[in-house]
Structure 1
């Protein structure tokens, strides 16, 4: 098919002739999805609808012959936020509405679309011609200069961000008078005109010592085309000061300026330190009125005499020192990565913050260094992290819990170094290299783990301690609230909920062999005196939800005032159905106890049916490292696990919980097996009450076998529990529900 006769061009020509919405029935591919915040002009396009959220999206579509960038109707935003409409999927029945913009380039809004499964390799589409406009032209529906990453506001995205140093300007033979940091500070405090004047036309030579992450302050009511801010800490031989890059100066200079660089500044502004009660100053670097001039100088003796020497790992702490460090201590660490968690997000106000867990070992103690690493404006470095990689993390802070547990997390100036670790001469790096050389490399590879469910610090094993952590009663939700909150979760968003529930079924499965599960179900028995756990039963073939049939499941020993039967649906397909509304129990209205006893004798018993629950998601289980960088990329945002992944443990339990008081049911995965990621354990009796309270088997005795644990299911019959659920949206219709703790109350 010629480019002039491709599917998209034919659709665009129809749209031009009718000036109305047209529908492309043929299959198209999504090459990319871009995000940006709206600005005050949005009401021109969508004045008849109420917008929820501040994000707009542009979608790049391809038919194999050409490409087009279209704006997504904000009413379809949930398709992106649930990771349904994503890069690589196929779509059809795309409804495109011509958009009259105050520019010469024609654009379209994608009003509706049907998302299909991915359809193989799309080939190289980077050289295909564009129709009307390209994604490099910038956002369609807002006056923004650059796009945002899909999943956070910290990283940068796209080609506008300069990655290399610009051509250096030669310093004038008769340079401007030079000023030191201390002279600048004193002149500002004394209100001297040469400093307080809007522009300081002097030259300052400083060395960069720290670099913050990017701070995006774009709001729907602001018209700024590039609302970014970044802070560099710089110093010379007289002292240090904060240097602030604003707006497009971030795009031009943020990626190329790094700690250690010596820079020359002219035409800058001096202001009071941003949001500070102190009388200190900051240097403001702007792109206009006039544009600040920045030059990167060679690290030669000429310039090094004006600034202090480069320092590295000046706050280094080893794993043996960290347990004794006070809360909020800022430190640098060096170690070998042994675990990389999957990327997740937590909500802070209106923002979703992306993070992942890292475990590092440095050979200085037997305990790993646990790091909750948020985005650091280093997307390339984060993508290449994989187990067995030596990493230097600078600018972390210590977080301590009341129970004495500790971990590290970001400060605004956190930076990671990976590729250049081998060239660093610091004693801590050299010691790590020597320790790695002495290790058994096969053992190290076997210990490498990737992804899976993980949370830290662990939930307390005592209900009293857990309640005290909430300073009163925890926020307990009901079943209908739980359903609503689950629907609101965005892709990889993690949230914790507390519910009151009873356990109606316990199932043990092995991933991929769910049809061979063994289970205990409350109220069933093959005979009045036998154990209430059934043998493994083959899973019947799933049927559609439209062909559900009802059957009675009788209780083992009906008693006065207790339900005698419940009606449940036939087995459903194992897609993403986590909740099912159970009908109310059939109540016993006869008050005569003798009649109840007669009914006990006459009650019939049916053969237990195989339980119906969604199988565990592959993202819930931890993988063993195979040594490839590609494997580590599968647990990043938008990644897909390989089919041949080897998991640390394939066994898991599923508990069906009836949420009180509505009697809605939820299936929650329970992972009591100890893994290398598990925190320190404790000894207990390995009863269901103690296993659920601790979230794991006892560390001092052999764990019970699955058969024994299922046989003990009767211990949970009719027990009211406070359950702590961890929910994480895994994309599409799949939401992970993990039971981290269960306290009998």
Structure 2
């Protein structure tokens, strides 16, 4: 092992002193290869990369994923291994790119199975400022030299796009497993212009006979008519370097069959294959299909679907030969079918049965923040799916499509969904829930396209797509933009007013207070869970948010508590505000009860029907994550003057609690923002997940202020009176709130209980959402193709 204290001569040393360089020198001269320091200058995190761990036998708690963290001190950059004990800092987004950290303990680790390789392991650190104070002074991160121990220049290979741990070949996305990540994924290879011998090709309809008699089949000439997202099936101990799988549906003149791309072929071909691509396949394998495999809906083609057999393309045994045929070389006499779609309009959605599969096109008016949900029934490493809620209008109905969109292995599209873009979603499943409007959910076979990605897609000639494009040309951009929103907490379908516990497995489980505590403690960054608890509301506090020009506009109709006694009947009929509901003045034309009476009635009813508090408990889970961008809370203002109510004896009773959870306010990230076209980059960054790599792009503008007149903080006492939960409640008060879409707006008397059970103030204030169904003739400015 080399003991030199200088860095590689291949790299010219920077002029200014370097903390990273001095650290490597000290590690080289330390007998135990370990350093500790109480104080250390900050370094900036410029990359966080995740990959499957090598499972250690002696670990009591298995660690499924490892992380490489790349840091810079402004002079050098170094890729280090993050000790597994620090993984939780990544899980909660405490350790994130674009921030500064102070390394308190590190060591140097030699690769015992590879010559001339080693790396720094960060074993203890302190996360400093949310935004780095160091990075703004760095002009070009890529120009900084990479720190390598002298004599170990071979480690330069490990400091590229390959994990530091031995036997690991590739990185995974930071927040899910289904997106391509890294330079191994090819996308720009040209199609073949070679002359193909199509005199002897097999038809899909005859492949079952080859499988039956184990004969080597002729080549195939097929067209891709459907593409599914990637599936990653890696787990510790699996001796497969690229454990990926991707399903396609291919067709020729005889019918349709599934094609599976396996393992090493996925990085090479997945991003190069798209719907409409023609393939010439040789040396493929035939296998029997899984009987319980979910399949895309292909009935609209009117062709035979061969479901008992599937085509397997492998990297070896046998090594498949895949030729992508140039569109110019495709001949009509081959008889390959045209790609077909089954677009559904919003006006038709109400009459479609549940689980019906369709395609949709619409103009985006709301793009929710990207969240994560853990995969159901996952027995291996924790697997998270990324998803977001989207609203889109198509000009046929006065309500938008409500779309639940999961990542489709195309992050360049999924991360750029924003209002004012044309959105196409294929293979969407109709979901119907009692008490809510129908919505559409994506599946593993869904593809998503937005403005900038429509050119050349087979659907551009579909009559319904052309009709939609003509309608959008009649709209005014400003009219649509004024009703468009981004981000915020969004939960659909809406919780029922009355919680019913059934024998069947409920999508919203009823949990104990102890289980709720565990759920909150294990909740990861942007992870979404829905649970129900039983309890009593023991205290309510109204907090008025800081006023901005936007907030004042929303509260233009609000009157103070004193003024409410003087207003006339016509003024009383105006929509209520959040504060008025708490104060309990003239909450509706027929209500003249005092706030004390309302709260007494509310408290009595909450004790008799505690399960109605499901909405409040569901909201509380978003407030647990005190790390990352979600830690910023709405200013609680002058708490001493805030309207407040509690049950008698609560001040004494709360001293006997064993624990109190979620003491905090409403997070800024939980409130939607109005969409402004000039601020779209900032808004997209804010609503997307924290990136795994920092880029030296111009600093984004500050996030626009939230439209939040105020909110309630409820204290819910567990049914056994041992634990209490503080939960923020922000009722829908304006039709401009994206949560108002699909909300059953049954009249109620605006008591606290009725607002909690319904989720909104009655009636909602503000102008109506865009009325695309009227197809009013307006002039549209920019074209969107």
1:625 matched residue in structure 2: 675
Farther-moved stretch of structure 1 (331-340 vs 219-228):
219-228
Give the distance between the partners of 1:75 and 1:365, measured in 2 at CA: 53
**Aligned counterpart in structure 2 of residue 638 of structure 1, from 682, 690, 694:** 690
SS state of the match for residue 250, structure 1?
Answer: helix
Query: CA offsets per residue over residues 690-710 of structure 1, 9 Å max, x none?
Result: 2222122233899xxxxxxxx
Structure 2: gaps (5+ residues): 1-11, 149-155, 294-305, 549-559, 561-577, 584-593, 600-635, 692-698, 767-785
Residue in 2 aligned with 1:651?
710
Determine the C-alpha separation between the residues in 2 that align with 1:155 and 1:645: 30
- Aligned mates of 2:645, 2:409 — CA distance in 1: 59
Deviation at 1:488, TM superposition (A): 0.7
Is residue 2:454 matched to residue 1:421?
yes
Q: How far off is 1:458 after superposition? A: 0.5
How do residues 103-118 of structure 1 correspond to structure 2 at under 5 angstroms? 103=114, 104-117=116-129, 118=131
Does the alignment pair 1:3 with 2:14? yes
Map of 1:698 onto structure 2:
762
**Are 1:507 and 1:519, in contact at CA under 8 Å, matched by a contact in 2?**
no
Q: Answer yes or no: is 1:365 the counterpart of 2:416.
A: no
Q: Give the corresponding residue for 2:183.
A: 159
Q: 1:660 and 2:675 equivalent?
A: no
Deviations 1:561-611 (A, max 9, x none): x78845779xxxxxxxxx99479xxxxxxxxxxxxxxxxxxxxxxxxxxxx
With over 3 angstroms needed to count, the CA separation of the structure-2 counterparts of 1:68 and 1:176, relative to structure 1, is farther
Compared CA separation, residues 234 and 135, structure 1 to 2 (3 A): farther
Counterpart for residue 600 of structure 1: none
- Aligned residue for 2:103? 93
Matches within 5 A, 1:111-510: 111-117=123-129, 118-120=131-133, 121=136, 122-132=138-148, 133=156, 134-166=158-190, 168=192, 170-171=194-195, 177-189=200-212, 191-195=213-217, 202-274=218-290, 280-300=308-328, 302-312=330-340, 314-347=341-374, 348=376, 349=378, 350-403=382-435, 405-418=437-450, 419-421=452-454, 424-463=460-499, 466-467=500-501, 475-510=509-544
Distance change >3 Å, CA 205–CA 701, structure 1 → 2: closer
Indicate whether 1:689 and 2:753 are aligned: yes
**Bigger Cα displacement from structure 2, 249-258 vs 106-115:** 106-115
Decide whether the 8 Å contact of 2:538 with 2:647 is kept in 1.
no
Question: Helix, strand or coil: the match of 1:259?
Answer: coil
Cα shift at 1:176: 8.1
Residue 48 of structure 1: CA displacement? Answer: 4.7
Distance 2:199 2:645 in 1: 92
Paired residues of 2:279 and 2:325 also in contact (CA < 8 A): yes
The structural deviation recorded for 1:106 is 1.4
Matches within 5 A, 1:518-533: none
- 2:255 & 2:200 partners in 1: Cα distance? 19
What SS does the corresponding residue of 1:8 show, helix, strand or coil? Answer: helix
1:193 is paired with a residue whose SS is coil
1:567–1:518 CA distance, 2 compared to 1 (3 A):
farther
Alignment length (residue pairs): 625
Which residue in the other structure is 1:38 paired with? 53
Structure of greater relative contact order (alpha carbons < 8 Å, 6+ residues apart): 2
> Offset of 1:352 from its aligned partner?
2.0
Structure 2: distance between partners of 1:421 and 1:233: 21
Q: Partners in 2 of 1:67 and 1:513 — Cα distance?
A: 44
CA separation of 1:436 and 1:58: change in aligned 2, threshold 3 A: same
Residue-by-residue CA offset, 1:407-458 (whole Å, 9 max, x unaligned): 1112222111122437723222221222122223222000111111111111
2:666 corresponds to 1:616: yes
Contact 1:90 1:116 in 2 (8 A): yes
Structure ranking higher in strand proportion: 1
What is the distance in 1 between the residues matched to 2:356 and 2:232?
26
Give 1:399 deviation, angstroms.
1.4
CA RMSD of aligned residues (A): 3.6
2:546–2:637 contact (8 Å) kept in structure 1: no
Q: How far does residue 274 in structure 1 lie from its aligned partner after superposition? A: 4.0
Using the alignment, how far apart are the partners of 2:316 and 2:361 within structure 1?
41
TM-score of the superposed pair, with normalisation by structure 1: 0.77
Mean Cα displacement is larger for which, 487-496 or 417-426?
Answer: 417-426
1:284-327 Cα distance to aligned partner (Å, 9 max, x none): 11122353222211223653431424324x21111111111112
* Separation in structure 1 between the aligned mates of residue 147 and residue 314 of structure 2, nearest angstrom: 36
- Pair 617,530 (structure 1): closer, same or farther in 2 beyond 3 Å: closer
Name the SS for the 1:179 alignment partner.
coil
Alignment CA distance shift 1:34-1:353 (3 Å): same
Contact 2:393 2:399 in 1 (8 A): yes
Further displaced range: 66-75 or 180-189? 180-189
Deviation at 1:171, TM superposition (A): 4.1
Q: Following the alignment from structure 1 to structure 2, what is the Cα–Cα distance between the partners of residues 667 and 106?
A: 48
Instruction: Tell me the secondary structure at the aligned position of residue 398 of structure 2.
Output: coil
